[in-house]
Amino acid sequence: MSFELVEFCEPASVPGKPFAGTSETVLGTYEAEGDAVRHGRSVWRQRRTAGTHDVMWWIVRVPGETLAHWIADASSDVEQIVDLNTHELISVPYRSPE
């Protein structure tokens, strides 16, 4: 089984211009879920400090599935994971890498 890291972006709104839509970009495909999450965390942390007003979020999923295994968004310092027993999102507070 493989896992993909996907970035979603909604450009910052510009007064008088229509909503540009949400872009979806696969940033990579990985054999190990942990590798996809590690890369996702790195991208998430970089984007959180970039100062953009775009709305951005990232997920890790099995290609073609609609259930995300990991979720993070640029406006929050909380990651979320899916409890596969209860199918509930569990919040994981951000911890600075040591």
Neighbours of 72 (CB within 10 A): 25
Interval 63-74: pLDDT, tens:
988 778 888 888
Whether 78 contacts 62, CB under 8 Å: no
Alpha carbons 52 and 97: distance in angstroms, whole number = 23
The answer, yes or no, to whether residue 98 has pLDDT greater than 60, is: no
What per-residue confidence (pLDDT) applies to 63? Answer: 92
- Residue 16 token pair: 């008088």
What is the Cα gyration radius of the chain? 14
Q: Where are the domains of the chain?
A: 3-11+22-93
What per-residue confidence (pLDDT) applies to 27? Answer: 97
What per-residue confidence (pLDDT) applies to 42? Answer: 93
Q: What percent of the chain has pLDDT over 70?
A: 93
Alpha carbons 53 and 40: distance in angstroms, whole number = 19
The answer, yes or no, to whether residue 28 has pLDDT greater than 90, is: yes
Q: Name the phi and psi angles at 19, rounded to 5.
A: -60, 130
Whether 43 contacts 58, CB under 8 Å: yes
Mean pLDDT for 11-40 is 92
